[in-house]
Structure 1
Amino acid sequence: MTRPAIYLDHNAASPLLPEARSALLAGLDLVGNPSSVHGHGRALRNLIDTARGQVAGLAGAERKQVVFTGSATEAITQAIVGGAKAFASTAIVISAGEHAAVTKAAEATGLPVITIRLLSDGCIDLDQLAGVIATEEGNLLVALGWVNNETGVVQPMGRINALVGPTRHTLFVDAVQAFGKLDLAFASTAPDMMAISGHKIGAPAGVGALLVKAHADLVRLIPGGGQEQGRRGGTEAAALIAAFGAAAEAFPARYAAADVETLTAKLQAALPAEAVVFGGARLGNVINFAVPGVKSATAMMALDLLGLSVSSGSACSSGKVGPSHVLAAMGVAPELAECALRVSLGWSSTADDIDAFIAGYQSVLTRQRARQGQAA
């Protein structure tokens, strides 16, 4: 089976950066356990310490605030399940557009889950959030995504920080889609914890991190043998972590060089007049749109045959293609939502990729309209 020629699904996973590949292979050549005190162990520990500084640099965090995990989902679960226990939370607050990793972790706490609605532009209802914070008794754990993985909508994190930060409540931010594209400034802003991922910025899958402030240092999920300063047990995957660090260092320049915002604007300008673009203030690398009457499942299969890889939303549902809970929460009609396609760009995207998609999607529309004409 041949590999798709054009990859436009970076919100699912970004291709491996050359720098990350080199760091991964170099790490795989080392033998030992990072917790061992002999020379082999110290060499692996040095890899991890270097990567911790690289990841911290991109996240605007202190080195000691970075806890490496096996994935962003693990980091999210540690923050919510472990955080609810550590802070004696009485309820979890999420939005209606959260990734399944957040919603499932919230449910796993066994605590009441308060869901904040989305407005039609994809932003959370800040008035409802403010009301919940003002009236809810007990300790809330507020868990919100900064950038929506399906629509690219950027939540007003400054206003959320101002609402939650001065209170007694705990704020956790899913920053997976924001990491490397927005200034997280973790060390100097309100969130108590943030989750980030490696494979969204060109590192291999299988490594992520939880960023924690000092007062959240007792948040635990996997006790184990005291690795990661006692905050996450289990022998560290040093080669994966080294690749994560290398990606964090290399990604900003490569992402900037790709000029994805210009490419995304070019794609949007080429869409047919009847296309509906979902979301208001969006990150510049993604566009989620629908052409009425052209179902996403049909379009994705046709594009795949043309060597074009896009998606209809989250890739974290075992390959399922179904209705988007995010679009439903925004009030999008079901018949329009089932036509939604997500095109997401990244460090390897080029103008030729966009030209190929525009031509490919136009051919899909032409065939679809021809069939509809024949049926009529």
Structure 2
Amino acid sequence: MRVDGSMTVYLDHNASAPLLPQARDAILHALDLVGNPSSVHGQGRALRAVIDGAREQVAALAGAEARQVVFTGSATEAITQAIVGGVKAFGIDRVLVCATDHAATLKAADASGVPVQVIGVDAQGTIDLDVLRQQIDRAGEAGEKLLVAVSWVNNETGLVQPRARIEAMVGPTPHILVIDAVQAFGKRSLDFAASATDMMAVSAHKIGGPAGIGALLVKGHADVVRLVPGGGQEQGRRGGTESAALIAGFGAACAEIGRALDFKGACALASDFETRLRALAPDVVVFSQGAERIGTVVNFAVPGIRNTVAMMSLDLAGIAVSSGSACSSGKVGRSHVLAAMGVAPDLSECGLRVSLGWSSTARDIDAFFEAYETVLSRHRRKGAAA
């Protein structure tokens, strides 16, 4: 809702999806329960039952076993636990990351205390698998142990990294593989239990659950990865009293996404959006258009229209979009993802991201173009006057 009372058209699901009604109901129900889920009395057991049920729901959507789900305060915490904790637990010598990984991965790698190797990408944003293979071979010759961390689906462009090929490279080795699956969760089959991935991070608020809750999926041999010892919660893997309300909302969102929503509608809307965009602005550049993308996000630039100007105009019209990651304290700057792809600074400064999800409708797309046509018309008038 805007300050003047009119409704906002929300096209920023990659930043955070609107809360599903089922998740809201589960949260409110859990908030009415009193006690500590670690207590043995009836109230504590009731809260424990809520958490155990939600763990099953998250595991079902992730293709994991319930005991492999460790609840965390966010996906950022989960990734940090996997990388920083993994380096300590497994005696890692070097961390390999992808240049377009989320800041949560890049900063956790920097904080790991061991050398970090950044693997570049091609012009579409796909990781250089030849370099990854070379680094794995080099580690084998030197007797090093690596931790490889990759974001499966890029949060800015929607590009899908070749997870199966990465797993085929890392899986047969003694190295550790960490996958950031935040933007794939609920849209792709994670199949964690049967995969060659050692640890995987997911988040609630990207799929319609509450913010402030995530999970690290952990294979049995990685149970030694711990950052918060605490009082033994989460089977001793993450201390601190669990928030039953947030966990309940997470589980309900997973259940609803798995049961009733498949994101095909959002993908169809995004495809229609891209078609209309190309017709309206033939000079538009859609980033990662030559590679596999998740299908619910379009990151584009119309040369000459800076994203700060476009977002301000769209926001005044009640249209919520972004210029990329929402994890930079509200700052708008050059995207490290587009920079790694070799996009020229003047073009990357024009980048806008439209991301769709469970609540998106055709009317939202119509409203966007009604507002964006004004932005384009103003730009063209300036060009003609010049």
Structure 1 counterpart of 2:301, from 290, 294, 301: 290
SS in 1 for 2:64: coil
Task: Provide the secondary structure at the position in 2 that maps to 1:67.
Answer: strand
Aligned partner letter, 2:104: A
Q: CA distance change for structure 1 residues 33 and 74 in 2, over 3 Å: closer, same or farther?
A: same
**1:262 aligned to 2:268?**
yes
1:31 equivalent to 2:40? Answer no
* Pairing 1:343–2:354 present: yes
Tell me if 1:10 matches 2:16: no
Residue of 341, 358, 368 corresponding to 2:379: 368
Match of 2:368 in 1: 357
Instruction: Look up the SS of the partner of 1:256 in the other structure.
Output: coil
- The residue type equivalent to 2:351 in the other structure is A
- Verify: 1:214 aligned to 2:220, yes or no: yes
Aligned partner of 1:142 in structure 2 is: 148
Counterpart selection for 2:85 from 78, 82, 97: 82
Aligned mates of 2:336, 2:8 — CA distance in 1 = 30
TM-score (norm 2): 0.96
**Corresponding residue for 1:123?**
126
Q: Is the 8 A contact 1:97 1:118 kept in 2?
A: yes
| Residue 327 (structure 1) aligned with residue 299 (structure 2) | no
Pick from 281, 285, 297 the counterpart of residue 276 of structure 1: 285
Matched letter for residue 95 of structure 1: C
CA contact (8 A) 2:122 2:128 kept: yes
CA distance in 2, matches of 1:257, 1:181: 6
Query: TM-score, structure 1 length as denominator?
Result: 0.98
8 Å contact 1:268–1:287 — kept in the other structure?
A: yes
Show the 5 A alignment for 1:198-237.
Answer: 198-237=204-243
Provide the rounded CA distance (Å) in 2 between the counterparts of 1:362 and 1:295.
15
Distance in 2 (CA, whole Å) between partners of 1:147 and 1:38 is 43
Whether the 8 Å contact between 1:8 and 1:349 is mirrored in structure 2 is yes
Could you say what secondary structure the match of 1:259 adopts?
helix
Letter in 1 for 2:40: V
Q: For the Cα contact (< 8 Å) 2:187–2:263, is it kept in 1?
A: no
Structure 1 distance, partners of 2:384, 2:262, is 44
For the residues of structure 2 that align with 1:60 and 1:329, how far apart are their CA atoms? 32
Alpha-carbon contact 1:258-1:348 (below 8 Å) kept: no
Letter in 2 for 1:139: K
Within a 5 Å distance, the mapping from 1:299-314 to structure 2 comes to 299-314=310-325
Show the 5 A alignment for 1:45-60: 45-60=48-63
Name the SS for the 1:357 alignment partner: helix
Whichever residue aligns with residue 112 of structure 1, its letter is P
The answer to whether the Cα contact below 8 Å between 1:81 and 1:105 also exists between their aligned partners in 2 is yes
Query: Is the 1:98–1:148 contact (alpha carbons within 8 Å) kept by the matching residues of 2?
Result: yes
Partner deviation per Cα, 1:318-372 (whole Å, 9 max, x = no partner): 0000000100111111111100000000000001111111221111111122123
Q: What residue in structure 2 maps to residue 187 of structure 1?
A: 193
Distance 1:251 1:124 in 2: 29
Show the counterpart of 1:315: 326
CA contact (8 A) 2:187 2:262 kept: no
Question: Which 5+ residue runs of structure 2 have no aligned equivalent?
Answer: none
SS of the equivalent of 1:147 reads coil
Q: Counterparts of 1:221 and 1:51 in 2: how far apart (Å)?
A: 23
* AA aligned opposite 1:176: V
How far did residue 253 of structure 1 move? 4.5
AA matched with 2:253: A
Counterparts of 1:55-74 in structure 2, within 5 Å, are 55-74=58-77
Number of matched residues? 375
Q: Deviations over 1:161-180 (max 9, x none)?
A: 00100011000000000100
Q: Tell me the secondary structure at the aligned position of residue 129 of structure 1.
A: helix
Secondary structure of 1:186's counterpart equals: coil
Contact in 2 for aligned 1:258/1:349 (Cα 8 Å): no
Does 1:196 pair with 2:196? no
Residue 252 (structure 1) shift: 3.5
Distance 1:26-1:3 versus aligned 2 partners, 3 A rule:
farther
Contact 1:198 1:205 in 2 (8 A): yes
Deviation (angstroms), 1:4: 5.2
The question of whether the paired residues in 1 share the 8 Å contact of 2:70 and 2:237 is answered with: yes
Helix, strand or coil at the partner of 2:353: strand
Residue type at the aligned position of 2:316: L
Equivalent-residue separation in structure 2 for 1:186 and 1:258 (angstroms) = 22
